[in-house]
Amino acid sequence: MSDFDPDATIISVLTDRAAIADPYPRYRALREHAPIHRMAIAKMWIVSCFDDARAVLRDPRCGNPSPEMFEQGRAGIDGSMRRARSRESLSILQLNPPDHGRIRGLVARAFTPRRVEKLRPEVEAIADQLLDAMGGSGDFVSGLAFPLPANVISALVGVPEEDREFLRPLIGDLTVGIEPSASDDEIAQADAAGATMREYLADLVAARRSDPGDDLLSVLIHANEDGDQLTENEILINTLLIYAAGFETTTHLIGNMFRAFVANPAQLDRVRADRSLIPGAVEEVLRYDPPVQLDGRYLHESMEIGGHVIAQGDSIITLIGAVNRDPADFENPASFDVGRTETQTLSFGSGIHYCLGAALARLEGQVVLGKLLDRYETWEIVGEPTWRPRITLRGVEHMEVSLS
């Protein structure tokens, strides 16, 4: 395909909101024609092949923007980065070593496998309540895929049930800011939501200091490593991150899972016949149609990737949705196969920023799949779903379903 134009393809992937329903043919063309490509209009590289993308995410020379990069106006991939300049305003997702490791170590205490597994009965109860309320039809997103993770995160953090309705629209606004194409208005909207949530959480932290519980906030307040503790500000910023990182991603995992099974009924029959396939099926949804489609890094030193010399200060987008379908690493990558044995994907990132909530997200996906199988034989999508016009966190925002 000599007339293939990688820049136009990438721009359409990042900005063409009408084509969001199926970016995969464009990813494939990119991977085949320009797997490591430097955009002509920006100091930005796009990596769409698996091994090089994983190497980028794991390389200590690739990180978040440094203060100097902000000054040079290079911090454009993630909308929220454009104004989050002071060290104090950054969450672990945006920090570099050594700050990142120090704070992540303390926050990770809230995500031990035991603590996550302890949430299982609560996740099951929330799924049952929501499915009862849906009664087998209606909008799958507002009925199940959105409120389930929102309620689970609220339970994890320790937000009382009566306050959760108030937080829901705010957490909806919070994630808009991380899109490459976020407008200044959208970033302002995300900031305003963040400020309101921060105020709310500050009151909750004060309450937990005097009356600790078994929730994440209490763990963060009391987390201690060699006498080091999180400051109040670090607790608030990272709790906000957990809200932002942990609910819309999982909403899309649940929505993408439903769509994948409706489009592949033979795979649904396989899991129905053998429930031990459920964990692998959730991994396959994450590979086949990942909720986070891209990840970004900035070069702190020049380096060579796949024969290309990339300069210090340049940015790199790793296209997770593309690399997860690299035929060098996955057999028949475009087919949805719940029994797949190659399960190493980049859906939760790789390296030091690997998703802290991966075990929780998997648990939620597995519980939902199990509950839907228990309750319903026939799964249908009624009409065409509408898409959230976003590529970093990609998924449907409205999907009428009929379950019987």
Residue 187 or 245: the one with the smaller Cβ distance to ligand HEM is 245
Q: What are phi and psi of 66, to 5 degrees?
A: -90, 165
Residue 171 or 205: the one with the smaller Cβ distance to ligand HEM is 171
Joined together, the tokens standing for residue 280 give 């692998």
Residue 6 or 349: the one with the smaller Cβ distance to ligand HEM is 349
Joined together, the tokens standing for residue 54 give 């994983």
Report yes or no: 371 and 131 within 8 Å, Cβ to Cβ.
yes
Report yes or no: 364 and 152 within 8 Å, Cβ to Cβ.
yes
Residue 190 or 355: the one with the smaller Cβ distance to ligand HEM is 355
Residue 147 or 349: the one with the smaller Cβ distance to ligand HEM is 349
Joined together, the tokens standing for residue 288 give 């086949």
Least distance to ligand HEM from the beta carbon of 71, Å?
Answer: 22
Q: How far is CA 27 from the centre of its chain?
A: 19
CA dihedral 64, 23, 181, 173 (to 10 degrees): -90
Using DSSP's 3-state secondary structure scheme, residue 387 falls into: strand
Report yes or no: 204 and 159 within 8 Å, Cβ to Cβ.
yes
Least distance to ligand HEM from the beta carbon of 269, Å?
Answer: 24
Which of 80, 367, 124 is CA-nearest to residue 240? Answer: 80
Least distance to ligand HEM from the beta carbon of 83, Å?
Answer: 18
Least distance to ligand HEM from the beta carbon of 31, Å?
Answer: 19
Least distance to ligand HEM from the beta carbon of 151, Å?
Answer: 12
Which of 30, 32, 35 is CA-nearest to residue 10? Answer: 30
Least distance to ligand HEM from the beta carbon of 248, Å?
Answer: 9
Least distance to ligand HEM from the beta carbon of 167, Å?
Answer: 14
Least distance to ligand HEM from the beta carbon of 111, Å?
Answer: 7
Residue 6 or 319: the one with the smaller Cβ distance to ligand HEM is 319
- The rounded distance, in Å, linking the Cα atoms of 1 and 125 is 53
Q: Which residue is nearest to ligand HEM (CB)?
A: 357
- The rounded distance, in Å, linking the Cα atoms of 116 and 122 is 11
Residue 95 or 268: the one with the smaller Cβ distance to ligand HEM is 95
Which residue carries 């009356």 as its tokens? 211
Residue 5 or 99: the one with the smaller Cβ distance to ligand HEM is 99
Joined together, the tokens standing for residue 21 give 């329903």
Q: What are phi and psi of 264, to 5 degrees?
A: -130, 70
Which of 353, 317, 349 is CA-nearest to residue 100? Answer: 353
- The rounded distance, in Å, linking the Cα atoms of 339 and 273 is 12
Binding residues vs ligand HEM (CB under 6 A): 57, 92-93, 104, 153, 241-242, 245-246, 249-250, 253, 290-292, 295, 347-349, 353, 355-357, 360-361
Least distance to ligand HEM from the beta carbon of 150, Å?
Answer: 11
Residue 6 or 387: the one with the smaller Cβ distance to ligand HEM is 387
Report yes or no: 354 and 58 within 8 Å, Cβ to Cβ.
no
Least distance to ligand HEM from the beta carbon of 5, Å?
Answer: 28
Amino acid at 128: D
- A 10 A CB-CB count for 73 gives 8
Which of 275, 283, 254 is CA-nearest to residue 358? Answer: 283
Residue 80 or 347: the one with the smaller Cβ distance to ligand HEM is 347
